[in-house]
Amino acid sequence: MSDPSDIDPLFGARVVTQISAGLSQKGVRAHNERLLLSLLQRHGGLPASELARRAGLSPPTVSVILRRLESEGVIERGEPMRGKVGKPSMPMLVRPDGALSWGLKIGRRSADLVLMDLTGVIRAERRLTYARPIPETVFAFLARSIEEIAATLDPVQRSCLCGIGVAAPFELWNRPTHATNGPEDVFGAWHTVDLRAQVEALTGLSVIVLNDATAACQAEQVYGRGREFRDYAYIFIGAFVGGGVVLNHSVYEGRQGNAGALGSIRSVGPNGEAMQLADMASIHVLERRLRESDLDPDLLWRQPLDWSGLERHVDPWLGRVAQELARASLSICAVIDFEAILIDGAFPAEIRQDLVERVRRYLANQDVRGLIPPRIEPGNIGPNARALGAASAPIFSQFMLNTNAGLAVA
pLDDT at 404 > cutoff 80: no
- Shared-domain flag, residues 52 and 105: no
Q: From start to end of 249-313, where are the E strands?
A: 250-251, 266-268, 274-276
Count: domains in the chain = 3
The answer as to whether 410 is a domain residue is: no
- Shared-domain flag, residues 259 and 395: no
Reported as a single tens digit per residue, the pLDDT across 361-399 is: 999 999 999 999 999 999 999 999 999 999 999 999 999
pLDDT at 311 > cutoff 90: yes
Residue scoring higher pLDDT (178 or 314)? 314
pLDDT at 175 > cutoff 80: no
Reported as a single tens digit per residue, the pLDDT across 31-51 is: 999 999 999 988 888 999 999
- Shared-domain flag, residues 197 and 233: no
The answer as to whether 406 is a domain residue is: no
The answer as to whether 409 is a domain residue is: no
- Shared-domain flag, residues 105 and 84: no
408: Cβ–Cβ under 8 A, 6 or more apart, which residues? Answer: 252, 253, 254, 255
- Shared-domain flag, residues 253 and 378: yes
The pLDDT of residue 189 is 82
> Do residues 283 and 238 touch, judged by C-beta distance below 8 A?
yes
Q: Look over the chain and give the mean of its residue pLDDT values, rounded to a whole number.
A: 87
The pLDDT of residue 22 is 47
The answer as to whether 180 is a domain residue is: yes
The answer as to whether 41 is a domain residue is: yes
Reported as a single tens digit per residue, the pLDDT across 224-281 is: 999 899 999 999 999 999 999 999 888 998 888 888 899 999 998 888 899 999 999 9
Dihedral (CA of 247, 250, 253, 255) sign: negative
- Shared-domain flag, residues 321 and 363: yes
The answer as to whether 132 is a domain residue is: yes
What's the CATH code of the domain at 376? 3.30.420.40
- Shared-domain flag, residues 220 and 365: yes
> Where is the domain boundary, 75, 94, 113?
94
Residue 221 is inside which H or E element, if any? helix 212-223
The answer as to whether 408 is a domain residue is: no
Hey, is 245 helix, strand or coil?
strand
The pLDDT of residue 405 is 47
- Shared-domain flag, residues 49 and 182: no
> Where is the domain boundary, 46, 75, 94?
94
Residue 75: how many other CB atoms lie within 10 Å: 23
The pLDDT of residue 409 is 34
370: Cβ–Cβ under 8 A, 6 or more apart, which residues? Answer: 334
- Shared-domain flag, residues 204 and 247: no
What's the CATH code of the domain at 61? 1.10.10.10
The answer as to whether 405 is a domain residue is: no
Hey, is 58 helix, strand or coil?
coil
- Shared-domain flag, residues 150 and 89: no
The pLDDT of residue 254 is 86
Share of the chain above pLDDT 90, in %: 70
> Where is the domain boundary, 57, 74, 94?
94
- Shared-domain flag, residues 272 and 365: yes
Domain containing 316 equals: 215-382
- Shared-domain flag, residues 200 and 240: no
The pLDDT of residue 331 is 95
